[in-house]
Structure 1
Amino acid sequence: MPITHQEIGRRFAPPRTGGEHYARKLALSDLAMQLADEVLALVPGSREQSRSIEGLESCVHWAHAGIDRRLDRCLDASDALDGALGPGHGGVRSAFRPRRRRWARRCGCRV
């Protein structure tokens, strides 16, 4: 069965999740749909076309899973760190490196 533009839209639609998760997944899905449309236009209907779109679909699936798994943890950690630093501080980026070194020294790691 040949892959159509509607099928690409269905395959690469981001799952409905909340807030920043959805925004990131939507951005990834939009890029994947553009690439899949290019593959559909440039590669003649064949096994290679189907396999390349299936591979892209797998790539997007794992990227979405990574967003779900990591984003909550990263956002919680950055919020906690910003709260610990107090108002008027430079934020997480300026404070993370010295704090990471301090934690690494406590556990005996080299950073």
Structure 2
Amino acid sequence: MLRRLLLLAAVLAEVAATLSLKAALDEPAWYALVVAGYLAAFTLLAAVLRRGMPVGVAYGVWAALGVMLTALSAAVVYGERLSPAVLAGIVLVVAGVLCVELGSRRPAPETEEAA
């Protein structure tokens, strides 16, 4: 549970940093949040990996949620358009990550039946 919370925090930090990057183009003071957000995102992602989450799963979830939340947030904050192609892409990315996560799960250990 802790790994997933840390991963969610990493995603949110990355999304905040990315949205701040666009704001920083007009107001350079936002660059402080950009640096802090990316530093927090990578630090939290490293903490997730340190706690044993497989790299493919951690990075896949981090990237997919980042793409999805950044696109949706940019539509709300900056009025960026969410075309049908963008929405379909988000669905495909999330579906791909689900496949990676499900495929990386270890099967339950087999138990010996009493003879």
TM-score range, shorter chain: 0.3 to 0.5
TM-score (norm: length of structure 1): 0.32
TM-score, length-scaled by structure 2? 0.32
Query: Highest relative contact order (Cα 8 Å, sep 6+), 1 or 2?
Result: 2
